[in-house]
Amino acid sequence: MSASRHGPLTGLRVIEFAGIGPGPFCGMLLADMGADVLRLDRAQPVELGQGIDPKYDVLGRGKRSVGLDLKRPEHVKIAQSLVDRADAVIEGFRPGVLERLGLGPDECLARNPKLVFGRMTGWGQDGPLSPTAGHDINYIAITGALHAIGRKEGPVPPLALLGDFAGGAMFLAFGVVCALLEAQRSGKGQVVDAAISDGTALLMAPFFARHAAGLWRDEREANGLDGGAPWYDSYETADGAFVSIGAIEQRFYDELLSRMGLDPASLPKRGDRNNWPALRQIFTDTIRKKSRNEWTRVFEGSDACFAPVLSLAEVPEHPHHRSRGVFSHEHGYPEPAPAPRLSRTPGQRTRTAPRPGEGGVSALADWNFSAADISGFEAIGAIIDNQ
Percent residues over pLDDT 70 in the chain: 96
Same domain for 186 and 131: yes
Same domain for 138 and 250: no
pTM exceeds cut of 0.85: yes
pLDDT of residue 265: 96
Does residue 46 have a pLDDT over 70? no
pLDDT of residue 6: 80
Same domain for 198 and 75: yes
In a domain, 158, yes or no: yes
Same domain for 341 and 304: no
Does residue 45 have a pLDDT over 70? no
Cβ neighbourhood burial of 88 (10 Å; 0-12, 13-18, 19+): buried
In a domain, 314, yes or no: no
In a domain, 347, yes or no: yes
The C-alpha atoms of residue 327 and residue 338 are separated, in whole angstroms, by: 9
Same domain for 287 and 188: no
Residue type present at position 262: L
Same domain for 82 and 148: yes
pLDDT of residue 152: 96
pLDDT in tens, 363-385: 999 999 999 999 999 999 999 98
Q: Which of 308, 326, 345 is the last residue of a domain?
A: 308
How much is the mean pLDDT over the chain? 95
Q: Which of 288, 308, 328 is the last residue of a domain?
A: 308
Write out the residue range of the structural domain in which residue 198 sits: 13-203+336-379
pLDDT in tens, 302-318: 999 999 999 999 999 99
CATH number, residue 180: 3.40.50.10540
Same domain for 188 and 85: yes
Residue type present at position 248: I
The C-alpha atoms of residue 248 and residue 369 are separated, in whole angstroms, by: 58
In a domain, 321, yes or no: no
Residue type present at position 296: T
Does residue 296 have a pLDDT over 90? yes
The C-alpha atoms of residue 158 and residue 140 are separated, in whole angstroms, by: 10
> Does 340 sit behind a cis peptide bond, omega within 30 degrees of 0 on the bond before it?
yes
The C-alpha atoms of residue 135 and residue 20 are separated, in whole angstroms, by: 11
The phi and psi torsions of 87 (rounded to 5 degrees) equal -95, -30
The answer to whether 352 and 332 are in contact (CB under 8 A) is: no
Same domain for 363 and 282: no
In a domain, 282, yes or no: yes
- The arithmetic mean of pLDDT across residues 34-63, rounded, is 83
Same domain for 340 and 263: no
Same domain for 198 and 143: yes
Same domain for 191 and 138: yes
CATH number, residue 255: 3.30.1540.10
- The arithmetic mean of pLDDT across residues 88-94, rounded, is 97
Does residue 4 have a pLDDT over 80? no
Same domain for 249 and 197: no
Does residue 280 have a pLDDT over 50? yes
- The arithmetic mean of pLDDT across residues 73-84, rounded, is 98
Does residue 329 have a pLDDT over 50? yes
Does residue 244 have a pLDDT over 70? yes
Number of domains making up the chain: 2
Does residue 335 have a pLDDT over 80? yes
Furthest CA-CA distance within the chain: 83
In a domain, 37, yes or no: yes
The phi and psi torsions of 335 (rounded to 5 degrees) equal -120, 120
Catalytic residues, by residue number, are: 135, 164
